Structure 1
Amino acid sequence: MPFFRSIENFVQEFTRRESRLDMLFNNAGVLYTNARNVTVDGIETHMGINALGHYYLTLLLIPSLSASFKAHPSRPPRVCFTSCASHAQATKKGFDPEDVYGTNAAGTGTRGGFAAYANSKMANVLSAYKLQRIYGDEGITL
């Protein structure tokens, strides 16, 4: 089953069973230091699992998070994107889908699977900032 389709299936089943969501903790992650892997959708594994999957899941669950806010405005729903200090080791030019392992990233000192991991962790930080700007005024705390 394609990676993103499995996320859609999960959200469909979740929303069938639940009417709202008070807390979403995006914590799945992988670290392959030397391997060059891709998801079944062809996306580099670190970016797909550690970042894009979290972002997509969160977007699909916005209606459930909004329903929680409407039900209890004094207890806004929360979304957490797990990252780590490794985000500071992201390649300086940013995520390059043509060079996810930092092979051509001069001066970063970060190469291989760790560069891809660090970039995925930076993507989590940026996702949280972006979604906070979009949904913060709607009562969802990121």
Structure 2
Amino acid sequence: MEKKIILITGATDGIGKITATTLAKQGHTMIIHGRNRSKAATVCEQIKADTGNKNVNYVLADLLSMADIKRMVADLKTKYDRLDILINNAGAFFNKQREITRDGFEKTIALNLFAPFLLMQSLVDLLSKSTSARIINMYSAMHKRGGKPDFNDFQLEKSYKPDRAYGLSKLYLVWMTRHLASELKRNGINNITVNGTHPGAVATNFGQDSDKGFFINMIFKIALNFMDKPEAGAVSSIYLATSQEVEGISGQFYSNKAEVEKPDDKYWSVENEQRVWNYLQKTLKAYL
């Protein structure tokens, strides 16, 4: 496969780090995103040592800050003349008490939905310079567990629960992935594809540090004993980044076994998908 320039968010730990290491072994130029400079630099050196690939660099941003994402994008554009693959891997399951970012956004929606949306929209020009660019969004089987969306309470001021916030953020990400695929096609941009995948239940630190309430905390702790190894969670994202089988395919969703699957469309409609898209465009207009 032609060597690619690949950006992975949340790549200093867990599935993101495993994905980055595997792709670096294949000889691709890797851009590791992290929040902490020291940790990101250490991970880059580890990957270089483990793979022999010296083309491993990092970028820094707090993805809870839309302004910081904008700054990171500007930094990327000064360093790279194209981007071939964007893997929106970063995500989180937050606390039982609703929290907001410095921008005033609910944290789960901000990180799991707003951040990948802003990155995709802001990096389209770099991606369009690739002969064949791919966007890979990490959703979750939890998109089935958020309950019925309330578009009058998008920021969950009235109905916040950590599992609802996480589930809805991933449901909206499914809809956004599908919509972006259609938007690109409508605009005649045929060299960028966008697909989604989920890692399945794997034993990482995901969600272990947040206080989700006693019952959910206990489930997260016990479940670790029954989960697959973290390497299993990276299979589908690596497949979507490198396989010739998905060349030109867009708007699809893949299981943790790298097989096409249909997401839960119980609450989906063309109108609801458009509502989410319009909300994102309006809410993040200042950062686009």
What's the TM-score once normalised by structure 1's chain length? 0.82
Counterpart in the other structure of 1:54? 116
Other structure's SS at 2:67 match:
helix
Which has the higher mean CA deviation after the structures are superposed, 87-96 or 22-31?
87-96
Pick the aligned partner of 1:116 from 160, 165, 168: 165
Greater relative contact order: 1 or 2 (C-alpha under 8 angstroms, separation 6 or more)? 1
Q: After superposition, what is the alpha-carbon deviation per residue over 1:5-52, rounded to whole angstroms, capped at 9, x for unaligned? A: 101100000000001100000111110241211111010000000111
- Structure 1 stretches (4+) deviating beyond 4 angstroms? none
Query: Which structure shows the bigger proportion of residues in strand conformation?
Result: 2
Counterpart in the other structure of 1:90? 146
User: Could you tell me which amino acid in structure 2 is paired with residue 36 of structure 1?
Assistant: R
Supply the RMSD in Å over aligned alpha carbons: 2.1
Counterpart in the other structure of 1:126? 175
Distance 1:90 1:96, change over 3 A: farther
Partners of 1:99 and 1:11 lie apart in 2 by: 25
Distance 1:117 1:82, change over 3 A: same
**Is the 1:101–1:115 Cα contact (8 Å) retained in structure 2?**
no
User: Could you tell me which amino acid in structure 1 is paired with residue 86 of structure 2?
Assistant: L
User: Could you tell me which amino acid in structure 2 is paired with residue 82 of structure 1?
Assistant: M
**Is the 2:106–2:156 Cα contact (8 Å) retained in structure 1?**
yes
Other structure's SS at 2:136 match:
strand
5+ unaligned residues in a row in structure 1: which ranges? 104-110
Query: Which structure shows the bigger proportion of residues in helix conformation?
Result: 1
5+ unaligned residues in a row in structure 2: which ranges? 1-61, 195-288
Pick the aligned partner of 2:86 from 11, 17, 24: 24
**Is the 1:101–1:113 Cα contact (8 Å) retained in structure 2?**
no
Q: Does 1:77 align with 2:133?
A: yes
Other structure's SS at 1:67 match:
coil
Tell me how many residue pairs correspond in the alignment. Answer: 129
Partners of 1:80 and 1:101 lie apart in 2 by: 30
Counterpart in the other structure of 1:4? 66
Q: After superposition, what is the alpha-carbon deviation per residue over 1:74-122, rounded to whole angstroms, capped at 9, x for unaligned? A: xx2000111010001122134553662773xxxxxxx611100101111
Please identify the structure whose Cα radius of gyration is greater.
2
